[in-house]
Amino acid sequence: MSSSPSSSSRSRDGAGTDAKASSATGRPTIRDVSRLAGVSRMTVSRVISTPDLVLPATREKVQRAIDSLGYVPDRAAGSLSSRKTGFIALMLPTLTNANFAAVAHGITEVLRERDYHLLVAYTDYDTAEEERQMRALLARRPEAIVITGALHRRSANRMLLAADIPVIEVANLPSQPIEHAIGFSNYEVGRTAARYLIAKGFTRIGALAATPGETVTDHRGEERVRGFEEELAASGLSKDYVLRHGQAPVSFSHGSDAMAALLAAHGDVEAVFAVSDMSAVGAVMECQRRGVAVPEQVSIMGFGDFEIGREINPPLTTIHVDFRALGQRTGHLLLDILATGAQERAPQRIDVGLSLVERASVKGTKSS
């Protein structure tokens, strides 16, 4: 493997000057490539990032060296020097939720093309984890950060501001966004559901949500019930049928349990809005088991338009938000911001809206 000295002593440094031993890790470095190709490290760097600035002959020579060594540039070293890490931070309550997973998926799809990498952190709805996760995320020097819903700790918020990177809030649309926001109003979701059920002529209208906990809270879900309750109140209807039951995250079994509890307490309930389709599906199943006909005896609707809702019998009426598209839009805004050069971009506030999907689980729908 010793390179035979060339006949003339060349002034280019390539194989000669940069004669340091190869790295201890065994993984080839840019230096190994430069030596093998007989060019400087800078030329190797150019072949990788700006190949057009390199003569085709040189480029091929370098490329062969790269291939034969199986060289993969170390991005950490590159970042340190270029001050661009290629990381985008994403902070979620959980990944074990199809909608949040869809957001992450949508963002990734878009960022992938530009070689950005998503750094995902999740709090499991635990506000105490926020600060830890935020610190860990910021230590990787993301070029921007995407968060879902508001932060709930001042400390986490302070860190976020101090980081001085673009912030995008997704899947929730605060009236006063930190900077950019793409999403919809959870509060409006609740109001929309209530208005819909009221318009259908129901008067004993309930809801199924999680109990807000000390540390573990589904803030978005809670906002939905809040909107729901206020609309009920605005129409002079009772909130007695609104049930907060169990802990976040809500799931199918949450819906079954909560529905059972609601039927036990208020057997005369006519219509129910569950803050998530997961709960709504559980509620429908519970009704089936109890011989309570849906929608003849009880109408049920949910939120999220999860695939399962389309499949059950009767199909679930729900409120739809396209989370994957939300992720994709977020990805595009991100690329836009990062290309435009950081803070030049005026804060965006994009409401992707909601749509009510009428299916057969609510009485009085054409399809039911």
- List 35, 36, 54, 149, residue binding DNA (CB under 7 A): 54
Of the pair 74, 124, the CB lying nearest DNA is at 74
Please give the Cα distance from 281 to 302 (Å, whole number): 8
Residue 188's alpha-carbon distances to 183, 204, 365, in angstroms, are 12, 21, 22
Tell me, residue by residue from 272 to 311, as one string, x for binding to a second copy by CB under 8 A and - for no binding.
---------xx--x--xx-----------------xx-xx
CA 267 to chain centre: 38
Beta carbon of residue 127, minimum distance to a second copy (angstroms, whole number) = 16
Is the bond leading into 28 cis (omega within 30 degrees of zero)? no
> Phi and psi dihedrals of 338, rounded to 5?
-70, -30
Which does residue 95 bind out of a second copy, DNA, none, counting CB within 5 to 8 angstroms by kind? a second copy
Sign of CA dihedral 239, 241, 246, 249: negative
- List 35, 36, 46, 108, residue binding DNA (CB under 7 A): 46
Q: Please count the CA atoms within 13 angstroms of the CA of 232 that sit on its side-chain side.
A: 24
Task: Say whether residue 79 binds a second copy (CB under 8 A).
Answer: yes
Of the pair 26, 56, the CB lying nearest a second copy is at 26
Residue 272: burial class (beta carbons within 10 Å; 0-12, 13-18, 19+): buried
- Helix 56-69 vs helix 41-49: crossing angle, to nearest 10: 90
Task: Say whether residue 346 binds DNA (CB under 7 A).
Answer: no
Contacts to DNA by CB under 7 A: 11-14, 17-18, 20, 23-25, 27, 29-31, 39-46, 48-49, 53-55, 57-59, 71, 73-74, 77-78, 80-84
Contacts to a second copy by CB under 8 A: 24-27, 70, 72-77, 79-80, 83, 85, 94-96, 98, 101-102, 104-105, 108, 115, 117-120, 122, 135-136, 138-141, 158-159, 162-164, 251-253, 255-256, 281-282, 285, 288-289, 307-308, 310-313
